[in-house]
Amino acid sequence: MPIPSSRTYIGIAKEVTRGTAVAPTMSIPVLTVAAHDEVTFIEDTGLRGSMVDFFTAVPAQAWSTWDCTGYVYPDSIGFWLASILPDVATTGASNPYTTTFAVLNSGSAQPKGYSIADYSGLGATSGARYFPGAGVTDLTFKYDAAGALEYAVKTLAFPSSLVPTSAPTKTFGTLLPTPAYLPTVTIGGVGVTYVQSGDVKISRPVNPIHGASAVQSPYALFSGKVSVSGTMLVVAEDETELLRYLNNTQPSLDINFPATINASTQVKFHSTSVVYKPADPVRTKDHVEIQIAWKARGNVTDVGASGGYGPMVVTLQNALAANTYV
C-alpha cells in the first residue's frame, strides 16, 4: 500500500562525534523535505570492439544532502543556526534563556555535526534513515507582513543509513509559528514601519574531503567562510533608503520578532553594518516601493566569545537551557 506523506516527520540532535548518528532529541515540523544520497560512479567506457559507449559503473565516494522548509519556531530553529553560526552562548538561570549565535573564529572553527532522523515510512523495521554529520550550507529566513516567518535550510551530510531498530520518538514542541507582521525593524538606529517583506540569507559552503581510507564516506566534511546577505521591499515615502545606497552609508540593521505570539520568546537578527547593493525604485503597484539588496560587513562587534570578525549575531529567547544546541 502507498505510504501517506503526511505521516512523515523529522527529528534532530547534536552529535558527540561528527558522523556518528544519535537518536533525535527534538522533532521539527516541516513543510517540505528533499533527501538525497549522492553516489559518484566510475563509468567503464573502455573500447571493446563494439559500437557501445558504456559497459558498467563502479560506485565511488558518497555523501548526502538533506533540505527542508518550514515555519520558524523560536526553539527548534536553534539547531540549524548552531550548525552555521557555531559560536553559541546561553545566559539566564531559568526560563526564558537567551542564546546568541555568531561566527566561530577559534580552534578548527568547525561546527558540531548534527544527526537528522528522517521518517518516511520506507525503511525496514524503523521506517527512517539517519543523515549523520549534517552541516548547514544555506539558511534563508523569509518574512512577508501578510504571512509567517519561514525558513529554508540546505545541508550536506555523510551517507544516510537506516535507523536500526524502532521509529524515532516524536518530541514536538508546543510553540506556534511566528507571524511576519510582528517584527520591529531598525535601520541606522531608527525604527521604521515601512518594511513590507524581505529575507536574511546565511551561507557557508560545506565541502566533502575525500581520502583513500577503504570507506566510501568522505574523510571529513569541512565548513568554509560565512556570508550574510538579504533583501527588503519597503514603501517609498522619500529617498531615505535610496540615499543609503547612493551615499554608501552602511547602516546598522535589526529585525526583531518579539514574544507577542509565543510568550517569553524572541528571534532577533542584528548586523552592525550592512552595505546596500543596490536599492532601486519600483513602480509596479499603485504606490512606489524600493527594492533593497544588502550584504552584512564583517566587523569586530557582531562576534561571540571567539572574537575576530563577524557579519551578524542572531539571538533566540526560549525555554531551552545551555548546551541544548552545542
Spans of all domains in the chain? 5-40+63-167+175-318
| 280: CB partners within 8 A, 6+ apart | 290, 291
pLDDT, one tens digit for every residue, the chain (326 residues): 788 999 999 999 999 999 999 999 999 999 999 999 999 999 999 999 999 999 999 999 999 999 999 999 999 999 999 999 999 999 999 999 999 999 999 999 999 999 999 999 998 899 999 999 999 999 999 999 999 999 999 999 999 999 999 999 999 999 999 999 999 999 999 999 999 999 999 999 999 999 988 889 999 999 999 999 999 999 999 999 999 999 999 999 999 999 999 999 999 999 999 999 999 999 999 999 999 999 999 999 999 999 999 999 999 999 999 999 99
Which residue shows C-alpha cell 544516510?
160
Q: To which residue does cell 517583506 refer?
A: 197
pLDDT above 70 as % of the chain: 100
Judge contact between 140 and 105, C-beta under 8 A.
Answer: no
199 forms bridges with which residues in the sheet? 142, 231
Question: Are the CB atoms for 82 and 322 separated by under 8 Å?
Answer: no
Are 259 and 265 within 8 A, CB to CB? yes
Instruction: Give the closest residue to 101 by CA, choosing from 300, 269, 315.
Output: 315
Residue 213's pLDDT is what?
85
| pTM, rounded to two decimals | 0.96
Do residues 310 and 299 lie in contact, with contact meaning Cβ atoms separated by under 8 Å?
A: yes
Cβ atoms of 235 and 194 within 8 Å: the answer is yes
Contact 139, 153 (CB under 8 A): yes
- How high is the pLDDT of residue 148? 95
Distance CA 43, CA 268 (A): 49
User: In the prediction, which pLDDT does 214 show?
Assistant: 87
pLDDT for 50 = 97
Give the per-residue pLDDT at 1. 78
pLDDT score recorded for residue 293:
98
What CA–CA distance (Å, rounded) separates 120 from 111?
27
